[in-house]
Structure 1
Amino acid sequence: MRHILRPFVQTSLPRSSFINSDTPLVDLEKFREGLGLIHSHVKKTLSGVGEKETAEFVESISSCRRIFHSGQGRSGLIARCFAMRLMHMGFSSYVVGETTTSAIGAKDLLILCSCSGRKKGSLQLARQARQSGAIIFVLTAESDSPLARLAHHLIFFPVVLEKDVLREPLGSLFEQSLFLYLEGVVLFLMGKTGISEEEMLRRHANLE
């Protein structure tokens, strides 16, 4: 075994040669260029989201009885982030599929996040929520998708797949825009309701 490994040991570079090298392991110029592209495309996408629809979204959150959140994959993770923030603000906020989630009913709100608007799981949830009399908001990049047609209210993200954007993987631009948009909604709600960061902190988990 030792004679098999010897060529690799002899030709491998010492650790210090990597640490002391003048050549950076990451092309920081390319990294900064990538960040600039992300920033510009997210800004362009968010500028195209309707203000009227956003106002309706905030008003519905403020006036509904309970709020339910769902999404698939990375969109689902962002939906969870938003659900957490609304809980911190004192809203009755639930993530669909959790064992402690209540039944949905009339005057409740279901927020579905989906880039494509075609996921079978989200479509099924929308149909069930409609049968229960809940109000459905869909946040999507596809305004003519099956999920969009099931919504009572639509928040459309005009994601433009320009040449540079194609360098980002899969639905990243929608997800990046979605996260920042919902963070903006949180700030909007804080101003509307007068809830302070200190009050939100009191509801933050302390069993961790």
Structure 2
Amino acid sequence: MSKLAVLIDADNAQSSTINHLLSEIAKYGTTHVKRAYGDWTSPNLKGWKEKLLEQSIQPIQQFAYTHGKNATDSALIIDAMDLLYSGRFDGFCLVSSDSDFTRLAARIRESGLSVYGIGERKTPKPFVAACDKFIYTENLVHLEELAPHADRVTNDPGDHSSVRQALMDDHLSNMLRTAVETASDDDGWARLSSVVSQTQ
């Protein structure tokens, strides 16, 4: 399995998606470093505390010394280069919707390592293009979120067991997710016909 370093720009990422995000990253390798960068004295990041403890993510404190300057980005980039030169990793996961990491992603790829970007659909296209693969957080829909809505997609209101079973089938879920990812374009959209062809 590939050894990955996960670097999270907490100023530009949602703590509510972290569990889904790490599950997605696990498909590409084993996470050996998990760090989240931000000014943890800021009330804007208070939602992260529980997630950091739950997922054993190391918080990196970076005070906002000057208004309008993003010191968090600089700290993340410096750490990324240190980790890159250590030679211990096969790839990086950069979690942010900020275009400031475009050059960092390109530099890591120039060294022959894989770069997985994760962010919202508002992420600027240059950063998306600089990554080997970019995953939109809006696409990280998990089975536990779909299961409560199973009643709505069955033709027989009296029999929901088959739908729930299909939703909870890990093999089916992984196959469908892989098909969607393979068929999706740069914006994360996939034609149904293309997805179907990937599963045949």
More strand by share: 2
TM more than 0.5: no
TM-score by length of 2: 0.34
Larger RCO, structures 1/2 (Cα 8 Å, 6+ apart): 1
Bigger-Rg structure (1/2): 1
TM-score by length of 1: 0.32
